Amino acid sequence: MTTAAGYNFGYLDENSKRMIRRALLKAVAVPGYQVPFGSREMPLPYGWGTGGIQVTASIIGPDDVLKVIDQGADDTTNAVSIRRFFAKVAGVATTERTAEASIIQTRHRVPEAPLREGQILVYQVPMPEPMFRLEPRLAETRKLHALADYSIMHIKFYEDIARTGHIATSYNYPVMVDDRYLMSPSPIPSFDNPKLHRMPALQLFGAGREKRIYAVPPYTKVRSLDFEDHPFQPIRADGTCALCGSRESYLDEIVTDDRGGRMFICSDTDYCGTRAAGQEAAE
Amino acid sequence: MNPGFADPTLDAQTSFRAVLDAMAQPGRILRLHASPAQPPAGLAPAAAALLLALTDADTPVWLDAGPAAAAWGRFHAGCRIVDDPRQASFVFASGPPPSQAALAQGSAEEPHLSATLVLEVAQLAAGSGWVLRGPGIDATARLLVLGAPADFLAQRAANLAAFPCGVDTILTCGPLLAALPRTTRVEAA
């Protein structure tokens, strides 16, 4: 293990880590509840994953293998820089393979490959409060959470249906955790919501600017909010990945020219690459 | 004064990850590999590691392990030792613990302000004993606990009724620990 000189292991000082660790334990004990914490200044701006990074910095150890994805991709700026950051300040091994990672920090996607017990998925969260567009006063939403009164979210969904015929939310689709707390799953596509339900891996959520940490323990019930007559429907582009041919994975639409040309490819680069390599080997 | 962690940074991380695993998978027994080699009299290795890994000047601590352990905690963790368990965010009990109802419960709006009870028991074993259900558990888990107070389960049931308020318990036994967060439903087998 080699770490950058002049920095504590994992960048954060021990007091900050301890404070975040205590918040994490309470977050796991009350699934879906947003625990306030003293978010620290990090060497990158709010909005670039400071919450996720602080959570990762507080849990990571020298034996961990870290994977970082941004919208499913391992090779985008945010993912590469966060992976390098931890390689530098914690000296940990990094990987792009979902199965090899012990900690996966993610922005806005859940990997396609099922996660297993013992893995930890760390979400970067821009806005932890699922009701903030309906009730901007945090003092008020805290009361609504205390009373488990989520009627304003149901009304919003009802009005969506009255206007458009369906629930007009395709990402950041709110979920009920263990039948108690309404939770923002972070801006993942609603396609990923079913993966949160009874996931064997531990899910931790960090919001740096909003200074909140929350968690979903393994095998916990996570239900996307809906109505009996308008059941939750995950959204996926009706297409086939141009690289690996997947019809099941979540797809990104790529514009290829200025004459309307476009193609779909998997948003999860590890899933797509593994499949494409398997097909080449078979040929 | 007995020494604390051999490596304060990495031992605290290892110990914390074990507690996090335990809390995320209630009933699972974990062995702490980085406990202080010579914990003070009255504190078992796992409890001593938790004290160092989780407490500091921000967390009032109550303990019944005696003056040597209190001085050790003050010196190594910098924690404030309180006489009244109601004021403590961490309660370390090696003997009969204070009633869970007498500890900080948090409030409906701020349930994270409740106490964490670290309770030393005579034996922890998997595969038999109590039947656990709840978040973190795939169907059911079994945990055999010997040496917990006779009314421990009754206290926990009352604790659960006040959800989301309530005390989280970490059971320690020498170098072992297992967690019972407030969401875990426990049935005596």
* CATH code: domain of residue B97: 3.40.50.11310
Determine, yes or no, domain membership for A2: no
Could you tell me if A8 and A14 are in contact, meaning their C-beta atoms sit under 8 angstroms apart?
Answer: yes
Write out chain B residues lying below 8 Å of A37, CB-based. Answer: none
Q: pTM for the complete prediction?
A: 0.96
Determine, yes or no, domain membership for A113: yes
Q: Are residues A73 and A206 in the same domain?
A: yes
A266 is a catalytic site residue: yes
Determine, yes or no, domain membership for B42: yes
Pairing of strands B176-180, B30-31: antiparallel
- pLDDT of res. A268: 97
Determine, yes or no, domain membership for B158: yes
Q: Are residues A198 and A262 in the same domain?
A: no
Return the ∠ at Cα A177 (arms to A171 and B25), rounded to 5°: 120
Determine, yes or no, domain membership for B3: no
Report CA-CA distances (Å) from A7 to A12, A63, B21, B155: 8, 18, 27, 45
Shortest Cα distance from A136 to chain B (angstroms)?
A: 17
Main-chain dihedrals φ then ψ at residue A171, nearest 5 degrees: -145, 165
User: Is the Cβ of A133 closer than 8 Å to some Cβ of chain B?
Assistant: no
Across the beta sheet with A212-216, the strand order is A35-36, A212-216, A202-207, A120-124, A103-107, A65-70, A93-94
A47 is a catalytic site residue: no
Test mutation, A26, A34, A60, chain B, max B CBs within 10 A: A26
Write out chain A residues lying below 8 Å of B135, CB-based. Answer: 31, 178, 216-217, 219-221
Determine, yes or no, domain membership for A146: no
Q: DSSP letter string over A97-127?
A: -GGG-SEEEEES---SSPP-TT-EEEEE-S-
User: Is the Cβ of A180 closer than 8 Å to some Cβ of chain B?
Assistant: yes
- Looking at residue A167, the DSSP 8-state letter turns out to be -
Q: Which residue of A has its CA nearest to B55?
A: A18
Q: DSSP letter string over B117-164?
A: EEEE-SEEEEEEEEEEESTT-SS-EEEEEESS-TTHHHHHHHHHHTTT
Per the CB < 8 Å rule, is B20 touching A33? no
Closest alpha carbon to A24 in A10, A37, A11, A8: A37
Cα torsion B167, B168, B172, B175 to 10°: value is -140
The residue type found at B115 is A
- Active-site residue identified among A61, A244, A260, A278: A244
A272 is a catalytic site residue: yes
- pLDDT of res. B159: 87
- pLDDT of res. A2: 60
Q: Which domain holds residue B124?
A: 8-183
pLDDT tens for residues B116-167? Answer: 999 999 999 999 999 999 999 999 999 999 999 999 999 999 988 999 999 9
User: Is the Cβ of A97 closer than 8 Å to some Cβ of chain B?
Assistant: no
- Active-site residue identified among A32, A52, A72, A208: A32
pLDDT confidence band for B177 (50 / 70 / 90): very high
Q: Is the pLDDT of residue B189 over 90?
A: no
CA A224 to chain centroid: 15
Q: Are residues A220 and A241 in the same domain?
A: no
Determine, yes or no, domain membership for B60: yes
Return the ∠ at Cα A230 (arms to A229 and A231), rounded to 5°: 105
Q: Are residues A198 and A270 in the same domain?
A: no
Lookup: tokens for A258: 């200025």
Determine, yes or no, domain membership for B103: yes
Lookup: tokens for A176: 């009920």
Q: Which residue of B has its CA nearest to A22?
A: B54
Closest alpha carbon to A89 in A61, A122, A130, A118: A61
ipTM: 0.97
The shortest CB-CB distance from B109 to any of A9, A146, A220 is to A146
Q: Which domain holds residue A116?
A: 14-126+175-224
Report CA Rg, chain A. 19
Write out chain B residues lying below 8 Å of A220, CB-based. Answer: 135-136
Shortest Cα distance from A149 to chain B (angstroms)?
A: 12
In sequence order, what are the residues at sequence separation of 6 or more whose Cβ sits closer than 8 angstroms to the Cβ of residue A159? none
Domains held by chain B: number: 1
Q: Is the pLDDT of residue B76 over 60?
A: yes
A245 is a catalytic site residue: no
Q: Is the pLDDT of residue B63 over 60?
A: yes
Query: What part of A 206-265 touches B (C-beta under 8 Å)?
Result: 215-221
* CATH code: domain of residue A193: 3.40.50.11310
- Looking at residue A270, the DSSP 8-state letter turns out to be H
Pairing of strands B116-120, B90-93: parallel
Per the CB < 8 Å rule, is A10 touching B13? yes
Per the CB < 8 Å rule, is B20 touching A142? no
| Segment B46-57 mean pLDDT | 97
A241 is a catalytic site residue: yes
Could you tell me if B54 and B12 are in contact, meaning their C-beta atoms sit under 8 angstroms apart?
Answer: no
B161: exposed, middle or buried (Cβ count in 10 Å: 0-12, 13-18, 19+): exposed
Coil, helix or strand at residue B65: coil
Closest alpha carbon to A73 in A108, A103, A122: A108
Domains held by chain A: number: 2
Which residue matches tokens 């013992």? A118
H/E run at residue A19:
helix A14-29
Q: Are residues A122 and A210 in the same domain?
A: yes
Q: What does the pLDDT profile of chain A (283 residues) look like in tens digits?
A: 566 778 899 999 999 999 999 999 999 999 999 999 999 999 989 889 999 999 999 999 999 999 999 999 999 999 999 999 999 999 999 999 999 999 999 999 999 999 999 999 999 999 999 999 999 999 999 999 999 999 999 999 999 999 999 998 999 999 999 999 999 999 999 999 999 999 999 999 999 999 999 999 999 999 999 999 999 999 999 999 999 999 999 999 999 999 999 999 999 999 999 999 998 888 8
Per the CB < 8 Å rule, is A142 touching B109? yes
